[in-house]
Amino acid sequence: MAVPGKPTQDFVPIKDIRNGILVLNNGDLRMIVMTSSLNFGLKSADEQAAIILQFQNFLNSLEFPIQIFIQSKRLDIRPYIKMLEEREKLQLVDAMKIQTHEYIGFIRDFTSRTNIMSKTFFIVVPFSRVRRMGKPGGKGILGGMFPGNGGDASQKPTKEESQDFEEARIQLEQRASIVEQGLARCDIRTTRIGTEEITELFYRKFNPGELEGAVAS
């Protein structure tokens, strides 16, 4: 008799997402900071040396670990092609219409032979707590990410748990500010992603084909 496998969500130690903060099953917290990128190769030698020094100083100043996560995905060129096709229809000059049509053909041919990747950069900032929140498990907001897993509502936190979360949130935000200030010295822009963006990030990770089908339709 076949042994039933564990649902995907059992391998994701996330209990809930509150106000842009990940709550893990063991009660620890995580905040995700999205960053801009630098074209390091286009910088002068002096600029490169300054960036390396600032980034080294940033890492040496941290008193807590961070995780650097890079999301790579193939760039969806279809919306751009559709926009060009709409402009082609609006062209009144035959020469411009032909030129636009040829450009569309060039883009289609080029992207069919070359994987154009887009990269998004994230910094995961952690905070571990002595006191823990609630029971591990609970599908909470992530229940809908894994088809077939169902999804029960997360348990309502007690007053003590809410107070514990608020105290930990303040500590976590202080750490995130340290990261943001350090990266700003390297000329890297940052933004903290919220609950909706985090949910979408994980959904894309675990259901890539479903999103591609939605775009195609």
Bigger pLDDT: 129 vs 78 = 78
Residue 111 has pLDDT above 80, yes or no: yes
Distance CA 29, CA 142 (A): 16
> Secondary structure of 130-147 in the HEC alphabet?
CCCCCCCCCCHHHHHHCC
What is the residue-averaged pLDDT of the chain?
Answer: 82
Sequence-distant (6+) residues with CB within 8 A of 80 are: 107
Q: Read off the pLDDT of each residue in 151-160 and give the average, rounded to a whole number.
A: 61
- pTM, 2 dp: 0.71
Bigger pLDDT: 74 vs 82 = 82
DSSP letters along 183-195, please?
HHTTT--EEE--H
**DSSP class of residue 119?**
E
pLDDT digits (tens, 9 = 90+) for 63-80: 999 999 998 888 888 899
Residue 154 has pLDDT above 70, yes or no: no
Sequence-distant (6+) residues with CB within 8 A of 126 are: 28, 29, 30, 64, 65, 66, 67, 175
Domain borders along the chain are: 20-70+119-216, 76-115
- Provide the pLDDT for residue 71: 87
- Provide the pLDDT for residue 14: 85
Q: What is the sign, positive or negative, of the torsion defined by CA atoms of 42, 45, 46, 51? A: positive
Three-class SS of residue 125? strand
Bigger pLDDT: 156 vs 190 = 190
pLDDT digits (tens, 9 = 90+) for 5-32: 565 666 678 888 988 999 998 889 999 9
What proportions of the chain, in percent to the nearest 5, are helix, strand and coil?
Answer: 50, 20, 30
**DSSP class of residue 149?**
S
- Provide the pLDDT for residue 3: 56
Distance CA 62, CA 73 (A): 30
% of the chain with per-residue pLDDT over 70: 77
pLDDT digits (tens, 9 = 90+) for 29-53: 999 999 999 888 899 999 999 999 9
